[in-house]
């Protein structure tokens, strides 16, 4: 247990520089995508060991979350293509019980989804109490891709009268409201922006082209989106500045080194679960009596 406490303290200290709870002072240029908090390339094996310890602790906390069945946790992942969303989700959640975890990937909205308000498809897929829900892209796309491509907004069925220059601030306000509502209901929200550099994204795209086993991951649409890099960075910065709150912080995770970004994500998930002070359900006096009777019966019989 002492080990766990130590691990926990380490995790909490580790994530501090990447957590944004008040966006007012946030500037994206202050975060270096290549940051590794002093870890060097030769420390990679040590970082991998730390991740394995983190994954074990996370699994234990998730077991209590599930058993207690009161709190829920929503993790939103946002990033440019090839920043490592899929890999982070896979590695960080590798130890958790699949029954207690739900992953949803949000793509361009379908005709049915466009027939509703933008939150509808996300609200429908929120995690139940006792579970961890992961959004691989989320309602935040409505302030990112939709902002970078005004034609997407024009293609939605939002009444024209409501599309004014205030629309992004209105969306931020609504998102903040919904996240506050969720946290007041015991569904905590944590948001991750995996911040990869433009240079590293190019390297990863080239790798997808060069390596036959990675060819399937390459999409020319992704390469096209790269052309809007600066507009995306502006949209990300404005989004974080407007939606980072104490109850639903953003983690701006340096993502040029996958082994490092996974460590930050794991530590942040541990922090969120730890903040719930989870424990296994207490058994009532009546239940204890029932258990004692069951023991006697079992002992008597073969």
Nearest approach, Cβ of residue 106 and ligand ATP (Å): 5
Query: What are the φ/ψ torsions at residue 83 (nearest 5 degrees)?
Result: -80, -15
Among 39, 104, 152, 168, binds ligand ATP (CB under 6 A): 152
- Residue 81 touching Mg ion (CB under 5 A): yes
How many chain residues bind Mg ion (CB under 5 A)? 2
Reduced to 3 states, what is the DSSP secondary structure of residue 24?
helix
Element containing residue 231 per DSSP (H, E) = helix 229-243
Residue 141 interacting with Mg ion (CB under 5 A): no
137 binds ligand ATP (CB under 6 A): yes
Sheet holding 132-136, edge to edge: 19-20, 250-254, 187-195, 72-79, 132-136, 101-105
- The torsion angles phi and psi of 206, rounded to 5 degrees, stand at -60, -40
Asked if residue 60 binds ligand ATP (CB under 6 A), the reply is: no
Stretch that binds ligand ATP, among 3-11, 58-66, 145-153, 194-202 (CB under 6 A): 145-153
Smallest gap from residue 238 Cβ to ligand ATP (A): 17
- Only one of the segments 3-11, 62-70, 142-150, 236-244 lies at the binding site for ligand ATP (rule: CB under 6 A); that segment is 142-150
The contacts of residue 298 (CB under 8 Å, 6+ apart) are none
With respect to ligand ATP, which residue has the nearer C-beta, 39 or 104? 104
Nearest CA among 129, 98, 61 for reference residue 279: 61
- In the complex, the smallest distance separating the C-beta of residue 142 from ligand ATP, rounded to whole angstroms, is 5
Nearest to 251 by CA among 286, 243, 283, 45: 243
Partner from ligand ATP, Mg ion, none contacting 108, C-beta within 5 to 8 A by type: ligand ATP
Give the residue, chosen from 108, 163, 206, 294, that forms a contact with ligand ATP under the rule CB under 6 A: 108
**Which positions from 212 to 251 touch ligand ATP by CB under 6 A, shown as an x/- string?**
-------x--------------------------------
Sign of CA dihedral 180, 181, 185, 189: negative
Helix H or strand E segment including 10: helix 2-15
Q: Which of residues 1-20 bind Mg ion (CB under 5 A)?
A: none
Distance from the Cα of residue 156 to its chain's centroid: 26
Query: Residue 20 pairs with which residues in a beta bridge?
Result: 250
Query: Stretches 22-30, 65-73, 215-223, 259-267: which one binds Mg ion (CB under 5 A)?
Result: 215-223
Q: Which of the choices Mg ion, ligand ATP, none does residue 109 contact, using the CB cut-off of 5 to 8 A by kind?
A: ligand ATP
Using DSSP, state whether 254 is helix, strand or coil: strand
**List of residues contacting ligand ATP (CB under 6 A):** 81, 86, 105-109, 136-137, 141-142, 145-146, 152, 219
């Amino acid at each position: 247990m002492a080990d766990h406490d130590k691990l926990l303290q380490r995790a909490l200290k580790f994530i501090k520089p990447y957590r944004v709870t008040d966006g007012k002072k946030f500037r994206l240029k202050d975060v270096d995508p290549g940051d590794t908090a002093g870890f060097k390339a030769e420390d990679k094996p040590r970082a991998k060991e730390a991740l394995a310890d983190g994954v074990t602790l996370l699994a234990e906390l998730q077991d209590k979350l599930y058993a207690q069945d009161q709190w829920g946790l929503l993790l939103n992942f946002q990033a440019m293509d090839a920043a490592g969303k899929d890999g982070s989700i896979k590695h960080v959640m590798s130890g958790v019980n699949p029954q207690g975890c739900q992953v949803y990937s949000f793509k361009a909205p379908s005709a049915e989804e466009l027939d509703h308000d933008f939150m509808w498809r996300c609200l429908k897929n929120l995690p139940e109490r006792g579970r961890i829900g992961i959004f691989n892209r989320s309602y935040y796309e409505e302030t990112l891709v939709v902002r970078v491509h005004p034609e997407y907004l024009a293609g939605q069925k939002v009444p024209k009268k409501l599309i004014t220059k205030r629309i992004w601030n209105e969306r931020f306000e609504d998102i903040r409201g919904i996240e506050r509502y969720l946290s007041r209901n015991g569904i905590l929200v944590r948001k991750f922006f995996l911040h990869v550099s433009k240079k590293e994204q190019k390297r990863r795209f080239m790798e997808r082209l060069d390596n036959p086993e990675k060819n399937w991951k390459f999409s020319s649409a992704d390469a096209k989106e790269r052309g809007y890099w600066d507009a995306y960075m502006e949209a990300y910065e404005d989004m974080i500045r407007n939606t980072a709150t104490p109850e639903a912080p953003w983690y701006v995770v340096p993502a040029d080194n996958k082994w490092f970004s996974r460590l930050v994500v794991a530590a942040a998930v541990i922090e969120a679960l730890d903040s719930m002070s989870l424990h296994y359900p207490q058994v009532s006096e009546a239940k204890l009596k029932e258990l004692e009777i069951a023991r006697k019966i079992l002992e008597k019989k073969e």
